[in-house]
Structure 1
Amino acid sequence: MPELSIIVPTCSRQVPLEQCLRSLVHQSLSRERYEIVLVNNGDKEHARLFIAPIVQAVDPGIRVLQAPKNLGYAGGCRYGVDNTDSEYIIFHNDDAIADPAWLALALSEFKKTPDLGALVCRVVDATGPRIQHEGVTQVVPNALFWQTGWGEIDSPKRFEEPRVDLEFFGGCIWGTTRSVWEKVGGLGNLYHPGYYEDTEFGLRCRQLGYRIRLLTQVTCSHYGSLTLGSASNAYWIAFHRSRLLFLLRNRTVFRNKEILRAEWRWWMDIGADSHPFTCLLGWITAIPRIPRALMDRRQFKKKCLQGL
């Protein structure tokens, strides 16, 4: 059995899937120590016409799992975890390109850090030398997070230390252990098709006493939001729906009054200015999911109080 499983959910033909998979095949970690598992969120025709030729060309040993329907990012990750047995798990966007040393350094870090809940690397824009994120921080109460380093020119000497502990992380390339995954409860399915499930996982890791860590010597690249498109209405509707669900599902350090004041200031300032209707649509489409969100919140709070 491999020590490490790399899970790659995919559904679009607009992503550089072959480039992604080649970066995962050509790693410094010996190939027999890890498996690559591609979760097809598309239909069987997508698997036959798009995925199969790429897998055959890159590495026929890559496993392809056919999801029963489009499960979204979180659901695709969960489906991959349910169909693997490795203790160590890496999740990888299909439009991200891995550093050749990523898997070896990640596996080593997990083995020597027993309280490690989630591990990430530096992520730069695949189209230029700018940083996408080096971790994520919450700067305002209403769940608008800032990607550390966003837009800055990349430099090989940005960090003196090989590892840095974080508050939150971005979910395009990250890893955890199976035991932590099970304790946290995995990624929340309510966030379909995506956004904020990684934020919630990081928050709940820290609430359970685990660390989130950035490996500063590992730099992966990412095209970003090629499935929904970062400027599309679909993107903003999904983003704001997930943002509201995150606030309902999780108790952060902020009180409800602080959250409402921050949201009001955001609306009155510049935040919602360019996307007011998609923000409202996001909230409206979140309504059917609210009862489940509140139930999940109670269940996780009970788990924390019981101390697992």
Structure 2
Amino acid sequence: MPLQEASVIIATRNREPYLRDLLSSLCFQSFKDFEVIIVNDSGIPSSREKLENIVRAYLNKLEIKLLHNSRNLGVPVSLNHGASVASNEILVFTDDDCIADKDWLLNLVKWYSNQKVGGVGGRVIPIENDAKWIPKKTRFANIVGKLNWDGDLINNFELGGKPSFVDFLSGANMSFRKNLFRKVGGFSSIYRGNAYRFETDLSLRIKSLGFHLIYDPNAIVFHRRAKSGGCRVSVYEWNYWLGRNHTLFVLRCLRRRVLKVFLFAFKNCIRILMHQRSCPYGKPRKWEKVLWMFFKGLLDGVQIGIKHLLA
């Protein structure tokens, strides 16, 4: 049975050199039946011209569609925009600051010969690892992509090992069947700012339809963590969006919601007070501001979440 064709969808914002490297890596994929859809989320005229020049340089090697947002709309909306014009049945998503291993797409797409598989993700290996300010969950060192009982997430998408069933996929390296993606309504635009939890929300909605999500560590992208562009925000803003978006995720997707929001708030306050939680790419100077921004996001998340639940 032939493998299904794929559409690789990339949202980008003011990261032209990184995007160029990603496109170069896609030229050497062992799996050839794919198109590339780039969504420019900058809204700046100069960015439009730069991206058109980049795409022009790759048109003899890749099938590329380039879309432009009129203004910065965020990652979830941009990826939905890209998915809306996808020609193929497997939607593949990665970040513009990633580089794909040559067998990346092959190791994602091959799983879709099993009709019970709704999504497949892979390994995300940091090249420039500046995540030292996030505490390591040593108790879960060998667990990947699992939702903990208290609503917290166990990521560990850098781990190797064997393919496994997971609860959610990493936004830097994930794929879904197009019909399921559309059936659940795509990514929710409610996750703004750093878009924290947007991929987890979608993963759980697709899994709730009765389909499996697979983590294949042989499907590898290398993540460079660009220091600007994309959905990068300041250390303090990151904590606001952490509180807001995770609270919305819990209220939208999980049972026993109030208890889980309380546990999430308590755990992260302890982490902040112990100077163990700030953001993946920076150390704050004012920890009291980190705490304040987290609480502000938490309260906004509760208010917005309740409004959506009652709507």
- Could you say whether these structures have the same fold, taking a TM-score greater than 0.5 normalized by the shorter chain as the test? yes
User: Where does residue 216 of structure 2 map in the other structure?
Assistant: 215
RMSD: 3.0
1:53 alignment partner AA: N
Q: 1:230 to 1:44 in 2, by over 3 A?
A: closer
Q: Structure 2 matches for 1:277-296, cutoff 5 A?
A: 277-286=292-301, 289-290=304-305, 293-294=308-309
Q: 1:197 to 1:293 in 2, by over 3 A?
A: farther
Q: Structure 2 matches for 1:3-18, cutoff 5 A?
A: 3-13=5-15, 16-18=18-20
Q: 2:153 aligns with which of 145, 152, 155?
A: 145
- Return the offset for 1:40: 0.6
Q: 1:117 to 1:267 in 2, by over 3 A?
A: same
Structure-2 separation of matches of 1:295 and 1:80: 31
Structure-2 separation of matches of 1:149 and 1:181: 22
Structure-1 separation of matches of 2:165 and 2:181: 19
Q: 1:66 to 1:291 in 2, by over 3 A?
A: farther
Gaps of 5+ in 1: 297-308
Structure-2 separation of matches of 1:140 and 1:230: 29
User: Where does residue 120 of structure 1 map in the other structure?
Assistant: 121
SS at match of 2:295: helix
2:263 alignment partner AA: A
2:36 alignment partner AA: I
Structure-1 separation of matches of 2:258 and 2:78: 35
User: Where does residue 186 of structure 1 map in the other structure?
Assistant: 186
Structure-2 separation of matches of 1:285 and 1:257: 15
Q: 1:288 to 1:82 in 2, by over 3 A?
A: farther
SS at match of 2:186: coil
- Return the offset for 1:139: 2.8
2:199 alignment partner AA: D
User: What TM-score comes out, normalization by structure 2 length?
Assistant: 0.79
- Return the offset for 1:264: 5.3
User: Where does residue 21 of structure 1 map in the other structure?
Assistant: 23
- Return the offset for 1:197: 1.1
Deviations 1:140-177 (A, max 9, x none): 52x33222266xxx7xxx42x4x211122221111001
SS at match of 2:128: coil
Deviations 1:279-308 (A, max 9, x none): 123234446743563268xxxxxxxxxxxx
Deviations 1:164-219 (A, max 9, x none): 11122221111001111022221111002311111111212222111110112222
Q: 1:256 to 1:43 in 2, by over 3 A?
A: closer
> Is 2:247–2:302's contact at 8 Å kept on the other side of the alignment?
no
2:251 alignment partner AA: L
Q: Structure 2 matches for 1:135-284, cutoff 5 A?
A: 135-141=144-150, 143-148=151-156, 158-159=160-161, 161=162, 163-193=163-193, 194-224=195-225, 226=227, 227-229=230-232, 232-252=235-255, 255-256=256-257, 258-263=259-264, 265-266=266-267, 269-271=270-272, 274=287, 275-284=290-299
Structure-2 separation of matches of 1:213 and 1:93: 19
Percent sequence identity is 21
Structure-1 separation of matches of 2:58 and 2:197: 32
1:148 alignment partner AA: N
Structure-1 separation of matches of 2:273 and 2:120: 32
- Return the offset for 1:25: 2.2
Deviations 1:28-68 (A, max 9, x none): 112xx211110011125143343123223333642210123
Aligned residues: 281
Q: 1:257 to 1:17 in 2, by over 3 A?
A: closer
> Is 1:96–1:173's contact at 8 Å kept on the other side of the alignment?
no
